[in-house]
Structure 1
Amino acid sequence: MEEKRQYLEKNRHGTSIFPAEYYHCVYPAGLAGLPVHWHEEFEVTYVRKGRCTYLIDLAPCQVQEGDVLFLPSGVLHGIPEGKTRMLETDSVVFHPSMLGGRGDACQMKYVAPLEKGDVRFPDVIRAGETDGLAGKLAGLCGRMRESFAAKEEGYELEVKAALLEILLLLYREAPARWLRRENREVVEKLRAVLGYIKENYQRPLSVAELAGVCHFSEYYFMRFFRQYMNMTCVEYINQYRMEIAAGRLAAGRESVTDIALDTGFNNLSYFNRVFRRSFGMTPRAYRQALQKEEGQ
């Protein structure tokens, strides 16, 4: 199989001296969903094929072939359950330090406002709009894909040059805006609880425990989470665990039982039931399907 889905919030993107990584991702139609997450790095994603609904900072956003997403630090993003139509993307995830040295003009004038969330470009640059900007950005994404694939001498310079050119194009051709702050507290609360789930998904998590992260009562927390995430916290935790489990089924030869236990399920039957509901097949059938596709 050409690609296994990448779960960006779990990966180290590049190295300490070259903090950038390329991901080619394929999401089958009817995917159970990519859990909403966030990271400190910037992300640029080119939609090669298909379409889906992204959730970006709590708002649904339709994307399709030819569109380019630019997501700076801290932006909540994911794909709601069952909202894909055979999506294929190229993504580069990189730390903003790649774009400017400490204290230089590039960092102070252009990178820092994006990193702090003071300025924001459109989350999606749409194909056919903004005087062909999406096509220019797609070309740069393609150049970086080839650089990461070949890793010829100086490829790091080539990737950095493309990232700087992307930033230049955005500042010159995309309409920037100062962020409205009224949803800031909501986003911060959600970041805190999603980060807590990420760090603790391997053990039982109670509503009371998660509510404590936000300093809410259990009743208010359940209403709050469902209002902004369009699912209960239990549904989100199961979805997150399923994505981790699917990645491990695809990546190795661990037993289904070991994966179930290590992703927070003490009951194998319940794990199998949740997995089937999410992916339309049992964990073993899922692994066999991947192996068959790889063999082809």
Structure 2
Amino acid sequence: MHPFLFSSQKQEISKENHLEPYAFFHCVIPINTPNVLLHWHVEAELTYVHTGSAIYQVGEETFYSHEGDLIFVPPNTLHSIYPVPGTTHISDTLVFHLDLLGYSIMDQCTITYLRPLFNGALNLLSHMNKEHPAYKELLPCVKDILNCVTTKDFYFELLLKEKLHHLFYLLFKYNCITETNVTKSTSLHMDKIKKALQYIQDNYKEPITIIQLANLCHFSKTHFMSFFKQRVGISCAEYIIQLRLRIAADLLRTTDLLVSEIALESGFQNLSNFNRQFKCYYGVSPKTYRNNLLTQ
């Protein structure tokens, strides 16, 4: 599991990996991560659910996932995953840029299919279960795609491109990609949420007030708090805490910084509060969390 995937709102595949514009993630919720906070990225996302259930938000749609489901996230779309109490959710996800399908080459395929999808003029079905008419054809294709990036056999890059093209062919064939019917009001609300999330991401080390975020969105404090919780699923204050804790967990995994230094780096001004919040969220203290990683 790539820790960066769960610690930032606007996410991109590493620029060091530009020759392979994709990333694979095996996600176990809540064991690997308690949840996946609302975020977006310029890449598309394809997920196969192995087992369990979770609550997904993809754009304006919220749904429960189940074993065998296929989940699709278009580029630049806000999405999140929250656990179902008492259930472990295991899934495989491929995050890939449309460059893998030739997005940068201006031909008829790009103009007709890829550019409209990237720009939001086309809407991609977010959730497909076993009852969907396209499922029987799509499932083997999705499994082949995930197998390509996990086994990396000889010439797999060519096969991956072929399978991704076939995937989108099937999505269009079964009308899983349609013209977008998004109102101006909905689009404006999404832009405001993205602006607030980006501000939190850019300033998480500093004190952030609800008034600052409300002013950024040109809302009153009360309206912003209600608006944020309705769109994100949790309160703004809780979101900020969870983001800071994710960043702290990343630092515990990837650095040798002292716990007190990590607390400051992740935006907590009080060490005891950091320890308390971390244990509440991850079930163990920061020190135990790091020690457990060392013994794995």
SS at match of 2:52: strand
Match of 1:18 in 2: 20
Check conservation: 2:45, 2:95, Cα contact below 8 A. yes
SS at match of 1:215: coil
1:1-296 maps to which residues of 2 (within 5 A)?
3=1, 7=5, 9-10=10-11, 12-13=13-14, 15-28=17-30, 32-80=34-82, 85-100=87-102, 101-126=104-129, 128-131=130-133, 133-182=134-183, 183-292=186-295, 294=296
CA distance 1:276–1:156, change in 2 (3 Å): same
Q: Would the alpha carbon gap of residues 40 and 203 (structure 1) be closer, same or farther in structure 2, given more than 3 Å must change?
A: same
Which amino acid is the alignment partner of residue 45 of structure 1? Answer: T
Uncovered stretches (5+) of structure 1, i.e. residues with no partner? none
Aligned to 1:7, the other structure's residue is in SS state: helix
Question: CA 1:5 to 1:205, structure 2 compared with 1: closer, same or farther past 3 Å?
Answer: same
Residue ranges of structure 2 left out of the alignment (5+ in a row) = none
Bigger Cα displacement from structure 2, 5-14 vs 233-242: 5-14
Give the TM-score normalised by structure 1.
Answer: 0.87
Contact kept in structure 2, 1:58 and 1:229, CA below 8 Å: no
Deviation of 1:69 after TM superposition, in Å, equals: 0.8
CA distance in 1: counterparts of 2:190 and 2:263, whole angstroms: 31
Task: Return structure 1 stretches of 4+ with deviation > 6 angstroms.
Answer: none
C-alpha distance after superposition, 1:86-125 (max 9, x if no partner):
1111111111222234321111111122112122132011
TM-score, normalised by the number of residues in structure 2: 0.87
SS in 2 for 1:130: coil
State the Cα distance separating 1:30 from its structure 2 match. 10
Question: In structure 1, what is the Cα distance between the partners aligned to 2:85 and 2:193?
Answer: 21
Amino acid at match of 1:212: N
**Residue 52 of structure 1: how far off its partner (Å):** 0.5
- Hey, what's the Cα distance between the residues in 2 that align with 1:156 and 1:5? 25
Residues 231 and 149 (structure 1 numbering): CA distance in 2 closer, same or farther, change over 3 Å? closer
Decide whether the 8 Å contact of 2:55 with 2:83 is kept in 1: no
| CA-CA distance at 1:43 after TM superposition | 0.7
Asked whether the equivalents of residues 11 and 41 of structure 2 are also in contact (C-alpha less than 8 Å), the reply is no
Q: 1:232 to 1:21 in 2, by over 3 A?
A: same
Aligned residue for 2:87, secondary structure, equals strand
* CA–CA separation in structure 1 for the residues paired with 2:136 and 2:247: 33
Deviates more, 1:283-292 or 1:273-282: 283-292
Per the TM alignment, residue 245 of structure 1 is displaced from its structure 2 partner at its CA by: 2.0
Is the 2:74–2:124 Cα contact (8 Å) retained in structure 1? no
Give the C-alpha shift of residue 266 in structure 1.
1.2
Q: Secondary structure at the match of 2:292?
A: helix
Shift of 1:190: 0.7
For residues 123-147 of structure 1, the C-alpha deviation after alignment (integer angstroms, 9 at most, x for no partner) is 0111x2223x335434333333333
How far apart in 2 are the matches of 1:160 and 1:76?
A: 25
Q: Which amino acid aligns with 1:171?
A: F
* Conserved? CA contact 2:12–2:42, under 8 Å: no
Q: Which has the higher contact order (CA 8 A, sep 6+)?
A: 1
Computed over aligned residues only, the root mean square deviation of the Cα atoms, in angstroms, reads 2.5
Whether the aligned pair in 2 keeps the contact of 1:202 and 1:263 (CA below 8 Å) is yes
Change (3 A) 1:232 1:81: farther
Kept after mapping to 2: 8 A contact 1:189/1:214 = yes
Contact 2:196 2:216 in 1 (8 A): yes
Distance 2:63 2:82 in 1: 11
Contact 1:31-1:83 within 8 A present in 2 as well = no
How far is 1:78 from its partner?
0.7
Give the AA of the match of 1:34. Answer: V
For residues 144 and 25 of structure 1, the distance between their equivalents in structure 2, rounded to whole angstroms, comes to 17
